[in-house]
Structure 1
Amino acid sequence: MRSSVGPRHARRPLPTLLRGIYLPRSMDAGAFAMTTYGIPLLVLATTNSAALTGLAFALEWIPRLGAFAVAGALVDRHGTTAVMRRASAARAVVVLAAALVLPTQTGGLGATVTVMLLAASTGILTEFSYIAAETAGGVASREAGDHAHRVQSVLLGIDQVATLAGPALAGLLLQWAGSAGMLAVIAAFSLLASALAPRQYGREKSTAPQPVLRGLRTGWSTLRSLPALGWLVTGLTVSNLAIGLLQAAAPVIVVKQLGHSTADVGLIWSAAAVASLIAVALCRRAIDRFGLWPVGAVSATIAASACLAVSLTHTYATYLALIAVLMAGEGGMTVVLRTLRSRLIPAQVFGATLSLTILLLLIPFPLAGVLVAAVPPALLGHVITVCAALQALGLFTAFARLRTAPGLRPSFA
């Protein structure tokens, strides 16, 4: 008769990276991408209004900002498994309810209210599952030690594959299967993410969970004590205003100004994801050889140059190519950010500090949606030019301050 040694949960083998991190992250990233890019397309198809499309983009992101503080505290208190499982399941319920309700509405106020509520509620739930998945990735990165950037590059690759397939799939489903078809697929990804939620038995839980406001103060204190991470977050926050504006304006520019379909909007972000995947693969090897700062500085230069050129184009093919180049540069900077973040933030306050950094990075996105809602479509090009100039200035300042920061040269890798 086999004897037991220790409690039952202690005998469970820890999951592999594939099962415990990469697979659930893939399912959640698929739902994330389809929600982020598909809901504004659904709003445009339902309301035929550029202003409401921009407002829906803002409504997707404004609740997310409030959710981050709560999500970080909940992850620190209850762990990634519980938070991701419940948030993903709730998202599935919400989108399935919308899939049942929308076909019964023929437009007007009812349909508008439904899609706007859908944008806000999925935004909140998506960020809860994202924080849980990102925290699980942070645990895996810390355990990888000097190879943390390799784990982060795989996670970023998963996100970019989802961004490759998600927008294109959302646009195609919306065009050929209607709102119910698109929302049903989002629900399927959400249910799979809930079922496969990362099981890191006790590793990710904080020993001293904090209230939300105290968690924000802890995150802010931690960020201030890490100047290299602080400057990088500052530069990327300014950059995200331009990125968010291009995301929010894409349905209006492509459908209304360039005369293409919703599927073509998704194709733009899919092509951008391919470029970003290539950039991530190159950056993974480049960081090993050159260190974090050179890779980040080159990526920032590429992103800023492409963004400045976007406002000058008037053809779909050129617009697609420039967005792809821009997101390739963004992908390189994201590898640098995630690697630096996973290495510098102490494990016991990782959830709270992660929440604060992502909160800062996402503040520009609802502002971008408000700009698209408020600015006439004919003037969007001028607004993009101004935001691109701010992006270039912000990234230059950030990487200039990081040039002499310790630990960002080849010896760090």
Structure 2
Amino acid sequence: MRHRVGPRHARRPAPTLLRGIYLPRSMDAGAHAMTTFGIPLLVLATTNSAVLTGVAFALEWVPRLAAFALAGAMVDRYGASPVFRTASVLRALTVVAAALALPYSDGVGATVTVMLLAASTGVLSEFSYIAAETAGGAASRAAGSRAHRVQSVLLGIDQVGTLAGPALAGLLLERYGATGMLTVIAGFSLLAGLLAPRQRDGRAAGLPEPVMKGLRTGWSTMRSLPTLCWLVVGLTLSNLAVGLLQAAAPVIVIQHMGRSSADVGMIWSVAAVATLVAVALWRRAIDRYGLWPVGAVAAAIAATTCLAVTLTHTYTTYLVLIAVLMAAEGGMTVMLRTLRSHLIPASAFGSTLALSALILLAPFPVAGVLIAVTPPALLVHVMTGCAVLQAVGLAVTFARLRAAPGLRTALA
């Protein structure tokens, strides 16, 4: 006769990094990349308007920023897994609803549908992002001095999503229309929700922490970490230039260069390949030289390349320069994620992560607004100004971080 020695759930093995972190993160990265890069293409295909494309890019990001504080508080209260699973499933349902509605909409109805889709998927994507980053931060803390290696894998997963997502979104939109693209996004979202480990890893259930209290918690934690503050400031200025390039890409490539939506996706896919290779190299360099030297080199490459992008007029050169820029951004992102996992206390990780992400991503809706209000003849000048601001911001940031303790120490 077989006797149980404890509750059934007590005998269930803890999820491995592959099952509990990497697989659900992979599905979410695919859905996230397809929505981020595919929905502006869908708006341009639906409305044929550069202004509305910029507005849609802003609409994708403004609700995301508004959702960060609530997402951080919910993760701190309920845990990463339940929030991740709920957000992924809701995103799948939202995208399916849009896929069913668009074939029967035209004119104003279609425009309203794609704009609402941009806003709603933006909010849900940030809930899943905060939850996934919190789970990744916990895995990094458990890895100790090898935290940057866990973060390199997570960044590699994100880049694979960015590799496949834009190209797949552009190809599906071109060959199968909005329904084909949105169906695949829904599939990735649903798989992410199903693969999320079924565990409660948060605090005791109850009402979520008030949003403003979560913001205050995150702000007080960040203020106590000047190294993290300076890096966030520098990368925020860098993100304004990168966001402007992302928002302008459909207009520049399709309307100015006469290419297709698949060509827009190809740019970001090639950039993701370059970043994926570069992240492995950045990780080895951090092992040998430490965080600051590698971050400083990456910042110098990013600033120089971004200035060069504003001077190019051919598709091939534009593609190559964007790839180099995003590869350099990958080095700074590994540095940021490693510092976050080491410096932020576990008890306030969700709130502090949410606030730092809110600050870092604030330039993206600004970029969308700039594209919407800038006349085409002045777009290059705006891009050049943002590139100069990026270069100055990164130079000041890494000059201030030069003497920060621990950043020059090899992490092998």
TM-score (norm 1): 0.97
Does the Cα contact within 8 Å between 1:50 and 1:377 map onto a contact in 2?
Answer: no
Residue 166 of structure 1 corresponds to 165
Does the Cα contact within 8 Å between 2:58 and 2:364 map onto a contact in 1?
Answer: yes
1:240-289 alpha-carbon deviations (Å, 9 max, x no partner): 00010000000000000000000000000001101111110001111110
1:279-333 alpha-carbon deviations (Å, 9 max, x no partner): 1000111111000000100000011101000110000000001100100110000
Residue 246 of structure 2 corresponds to 247
Does the Cα contact within 8 Å between 2:78 and 2:201 map onto a contact in 1?
Answer: no
Residue 325 of structure 1 corresponds to 324
SS of residue in 2 equivalent to 1:350: helix
Residue 266 of structure 2 corresponds to 267
Residue 48 of structure 1 corresponds to 48
Does the Cα contact within 8 Å between 1:135 and 1:204 map onto a contact in 2?
Answer: no
Residue 33 of structure 1 corresponds to 33
How far is 1:212 from its partner? Answer: 1.8
**One-letter code of the match for 2:10?**
A
SS of residue in 2 equivalent to 1:410: coil
How far is 1:205 from its partner? Answer: 4.1
Does the Cα contact within 8 Å between 2:301 and 2:325 map onto a contact in 1?
Answer: yes
How far is 1:86 from its partner? Answer: 1.0
**Structure 1 CA distance for aligned equivalents of residues 150 and 221 of structure 2:** 23
How far is 1:210 from its partner? Answer: 3.2
How far is 1:12 from its partner? Answer: 1.9
1:283 equivalent to 2:282? Answer: yes
Does the Cα contact within 8 Å between 1:81 and 1:132 map onto a contact in 2?
Answer: yes
Alignment of 1:63-102 (within 5 A): 63-102=63-102
**One-letter code of the match for 1:222?**
T
1:14-71 alpha-carbon deviations (Å, 9 max, x no partner): 1010000000000000000000000000000000000000000000000000100000
Does the Cα contact within 8 Å between 2:231 and 2:397 map onto a contact in 1?
Answer: yes
How far is 1:204 from its partner? Answer: 4.8
Provide the alpha-carbon RMSD of the alignment.
1.4
Alignment of 1:160-239 (within 5 A): 160-199=159-198, 201-205=199-203, 210-239=209-238
**Structure 2 CA distance for aligned equivalents of residues 181 and 411 of structure 1:** 47
1:174-209 alpha-carbon deviations (Å, 9 max, x no partner): 00000000000000000000101134x444547996
**Structure 1 CA distance for aligned equivalents of residues 243 and 204 of structure 2:** 33
Residue 302 of structure 1 corresponds to 301
**Structure 2 CA distance for aligned equivalents of residues 186 and 337 of structure 1:** 28
1:362-393 alpha-carbon deviations (Å, 9 max, x no partner): 10000000000000122211111000000001
**Structure 2 CA distance for aligned equivalents of residues 272 and 378 of structure 1:** 27
**Structure 1 CA distance for aligned equivalents of residues 136 and 191 of structure 2:** 18
**One-letter code of the match for 1:164?**
L
Give unpaired runs (5+ residues) of structure 2.
Answer: none
Q: CA distance change for structure 1 residues 351 and 2 in 2, over 3 Å: closer, same or farther?
A: farther
Higher alpha-carbon deviation: 27-36 or 92-101 = 92-101
Give unpaired runs (5+ residues) of structure 1.
Answer: none
SS of residue in 1 equivalent to 2:405: coil
Does the Cα contact within 8 Å between 2:95 and 2:117 map onto a contact in 1?
Answer: yes
**Structure 2 CA distance for aligned equivalents of residues 112 and 118 of structure 1:** 10
Residue 397 of structure 2 corresponds to 398
